[in-house]
Chain A
Amino acid sequence: MSKDNQDNVGMSYLDSNATKLFKTYFPLVAFLFVLLFPFYWMGITAFKPDNELLSRDGNPFWIINPTLAHVEKLLFKTAYPQWMWNTVLVSVTATFFSLFASVLAAYAIERLRFKGAKNTGLAIFLAYLVPPSILFIPLASVVFQLGLFDTRLALILTYPTFLIPFCTWLLMGYFRTIPFELEECAMIDGANRWEILIKIILPLSVPGLISAGIFAFTLSWNEFIYALTFISSSEFKTVPVGVVTELVEGDVYHWGALMAGALFGSLPVAFIYSFFVEYYVSGMTGSVKE
């Protein structure tokens, strides 16, 4: 029991060990089992040979002869590496562009307080509430009119529509916590607004930038409906869309390759997330708090 945890646990230390085991750890382990089982199943299927996959005998929870055949098929017989590259390219570019635009917007709304800043802030929040599934049809026609249909640029330009509102909202909250006095001091020393933003505000908001960046990256990595609608050639697809539309051929499902595709498509976000859990959680809860 670490000491810092005891601050907000109420009176639960009065529970006896047996009660605690039954009332806390038992349900918690059940939750954990249900929440993590699909990942275990993904992993085990990805390395299981076909004859074990399609047999109802034996113990399905384990592999007798692990195989790399599914992974090999995925890497060398499908466009999977290309989809992976597309996803990385689109996610990283969209994230950095959104961060850039959001930093400027959030600073303008929160600190420059130009005429109409308050309403602009509200509009940004409302933009965050517009779900992609009511936007994709007209957006498809906009993308088509601009000649961007079936290009990665279409995704790089449309992903910021949900990234910018989120990042701006998050960064506005972050900028609000930085004392005005710091800016006033810099202004007295002759710094202009741009210098203040670069040299004072940004270094102080690195945690906020990381939160927004991680969150934006996972959102673009996971995006599905725009990528499904705006991209038709295999070479420009992202991992989620590629796996869903191209790995399923006819009635014969290659479960091993499908699960390997799902596993490797999930690992990068899970990996990045594992390093920045705290930032991610603060980004998520920050988006809900006002």
Chain B
Amino acid sequence: MTPLLERVQNSRNVLGLIFMMPAALLLLLFLTYPLGLGVWLGFTDTKIGRAGQWIGFENYIFLMGDSVTQLALFNTMFYTTVASVLKFFLGLWLALLLNKNLRFKSFFRAVILLPYIVPTALSAIAFWWIFDSQFSIISWALVKMGWIDTYIDFLGSPWNARFATLSANVWRGVPFVAITLLAGLQTISPSYYEASAIDGATPWQQFWHVTLPLLTPIIAVTMTFSVLFTFTDFQLIYVLTRGGPLNATHLMATLSFQRAISGGALGEGAAIAIAMVPFLLAAILFSYFGLQRRTWQQGGSDK
């Protein structure tokens, strides 16, 4: 073996650099560079097929006064808040159910994740059919039960469409929340429950004073991811409504696609996408500080 080769093999820094090479090159070229390019594009008037000029904050000033963008921001906030709250409560409930002593537990757990692993664009198509204005199975069932007289136009009117897309999002997100929270529940030692039961705690007190505090760190991380994915959601809306009716379901992501790719205004679309970043950072920081205060729950020292 040549001395040079031997030196390389024993130097951790040189070897580390070589090992990092494939991942680093790819991420720099297709992640870091586009991220910077996106910020830059947001300050230009680039169109598809035409290089743009630096126009400063003009895009952002225009977007702030643009009623469609304002509506999209409202929709995104509404969609994220309501969907995340629902996903949290339903997911926690499902996790608690699955954590009980059940028959066919592993079967239940496996089947419940199906909505999460199947391509969202494809399950969204199934929802499109379920929400069809003329042949919706939900409307059919409600009419047969005598609860309604006419078929519901799920995707045709603004608030119906908002709740329809929201419910499809919740349907897809609940399994993720439930399974990760279940993993958290399984790390809680049963001796806490036995001890508290001996002290006379009711199941509700056990949940409030044992389960919830011990579960908080994993709840924080799970919900951060959930909020992040919901806030930047694209597929469901694109397939179900394309942002309609009357832009009532446009999210920031679908609006930026419409302006940049369909409309050709790359600069403006990039500005909309970049405008999402502060919200995402706020969500991440919120969860980060929420986590830090609770290191003692993971066996760390109390600060």
**Are A and B subunits of one complex?**
yes
Decide if A66 is an interface residue (CB 8 Å cutoff): no
Instruction: Select which of A11, A134, A136 is within 8 A of B197 by beta carbon.
Output: A11
Task: Give residues 198-230 of B contacting A (CB, 8 Å).
Answer: 203, 206, 218, 221-222, 225, 228-229
B80 to chain A, nearest CB (A): 13
Instruction: Select which of B15, B23, B232, B277 is within 8 A of A112 by beta carbon.
Output: B15
Decide if A18 is an interface residue (CB 8 Å cutoff): no
State which of A26-34, A74-82, A174-182 sits at the interface with chain B: A26-34
Residue-wise interface mask of A (11-44) relative to B, using a CB-CB cutoff of 8 A (1 in contact, 0 not): 1110000001000100110011011101101100
Contact B234–A108 (Cβ < 8 Å): no
A124 CA / B26 CA spacing, docked (Å): 12
Interfacial chain B residues near A229, Cβ < 8 Å: 257, 261
A134-B277, A194-B9, A288-B218 known; A38-B126 Cβ under 8 A: yes
Residue-wise interface mask of A (260-276) relative to B, using a CB-CB cutoff of 8 A (1 in contact, 0 not): 01100110011001100
A36-B111, A244-B239 known; A262-B266 Cβ under 8 A: no
Instruction: Select which of A8, A39, A117, A165 is within 8 A of B186 by beta carbon.
Output: A8
Instruction: Select which of A6, A193, A222 is within 8 A of B119 by beta carbon.
Output: A222
A270 CA / B41 CA spacing, docked (Å): 39
Contact B31–A157 (Cβ < 8 Å): no
Interfacial chain A residues near B186, Cβ < 8 Å: 8
Contact B117–A269 (Cβ < 8 Å): yes
Residue-wise interface mask of A (214-229) relative to B, using a CB-CB cutoff of 8 A (1 in contact, 0 not): 0000100110110011
Residue-wise interface mask of A (226-242) relative to B, using a CB-CB cutoff of 8 A (1 in contact, 0 not): 00110000000001110
A13-B101, A35-B171, A274-B110 known; A224-B20 Cβ under 8 A: no
A168 CA / B31 CA spacing, docked (Å): 15
Decide if B77 is an interface residue (CB 8 Å cutoff): no
Contact A281–B183 (Cβ < 8 Å): yes
Interfacial chain B residues near A269, Cβ < 8 Å: 117-119
Contact B38–A134 (Cβ < 8 Å): yes
Decide if A164 is an interface residue (CB 8 Å cutoff): yes
Task: Give residues 164-193 of B contacting A (CB, 8 Å).
Answer: 171, 174-176, 179-180, 183, 185-186, 188-190, 193
A12-B100, A101-B26, A229-B261 known; A41-B130 Cβ under 8 A: yes
Task: Give residues 174-199 of A contacting B (CB, 8 Å).
Answer: 192-194
Decide if A200 is an interface residue (CB 8 Å cutoff): no
Residue-wise interface mask of B (1-42) relative to A, using a CB-CB cutoff of 8 A (1 in contact, 0 not): 000000001101101110111111011011101110110010
Decide if B296 is an interface residue (CB 8 Å cutoff): no
A222 CA / B37 CA spacing, docked (Å): 26
A273 CA / B117 CA spacing, docked (Å): 8
Task: Give residues 22-76 of A contacting B (CB, 8 Å).
Answer: 24, 27-28, 31-32, 34-36, 38-39, 41-42, 45, 53-54, 56, 60
A224 CA / B16 CA spacing, docked (Å): 34
Decide if B137 is an interface residue (CB 8 Å cutoff): yes
Contact B17–A270 (Cβ < 8 Å): no
Interfacial chain B residues near A130, Cβ < 8 Å: 31, 35
Contact A114–B12 (Cβ < 8 Å): yes
Q: How many residue pairs bridge A and B at CB < 8 Å?
A: 294
Task: Give residues 249-289 of A contacting B (CB, 8 Å).
Answer: 253, 255, 258-259, 261-262, 265-266, 269-270, 273-274, 277, 280-281, 284-285, 288-289
Instruction: Select which of B34, B103, B113 is within 8 A of A1 by beta carbon.
Output: B103
Decide if B135 is an interface residue (CB 8 Å cutoff): yes
Instruction: Select which of B137, B185, B218 is within 8 A of A289 by beta carbon.
Output: B218
A109 CA / B13 CA spacing, docked (Å): 11
Chain B's interface size range is 35 or more
Decide if B123 is an interface residue (CB 8 Å cutoff): yes
Decide if B152 is an interface residue (CB 8 Å cutoff): no
Task: Tell me the interface secondary structure of chain B in the complex.
Answer: helix
Contact B37–A117 (Cβ < 8 Å): no
Decide if A203 is an interface residue (CB 8 Å cutoff): no
Interfacial chain B residues near A133, Cβ < 8 Å: 232-234, 253, 256-257, 273, 276
Contact A134–B274 (Cβ < 8 Å): yes
Decide if B64 is an interface residue (CB 8 Å cutoff): no
A12-B100, A39-B126, A54-B135 known; A161-B27 Cβ under 8 A: yes
A-binding residues in B (CB < 8 A):
9-10, 12-13, 15-17, 19-24, 26-27, 29-31, 33-35, 37-38, 41, 90, 93-94, 97-103, 105-106, 108-115, 117-123, 125-127, 129-130, 132, 135, 137, 140, 171, 174-176, 179-180, 183, 185-186, 188-190, 193-194, 197, 203, 206, 218, 221-222, 225, 228-229, 232-235, 238-239, 253, 256-257, 260-261, 266, 269-270, 273-274, 276-277, 280, 284
With A12-B101, A35-B114 known, 9 other A-B pairs at CB within 8 A are A9-B100, A10-B193, A53-B135, A105-B22, A114-B15, A136-B273, A255-B132, A266-B122, A284-B180
Provide 22 A-B residue pairs closer than 8 Å at the C-beta atoms, listed in order of the A residue: A1-B103, A28-B97, A31-B90, A32-B111, A32-B112, A35-B114, A36-B114, A127-B31, A134-B232, A134-B276, A138-B34, A158-B30, A160-B26, A224-B120, A225-B253, A225-B257, A240-B121, A244-B238, A255-B132, A262-B122, A265-B122, A281-B183
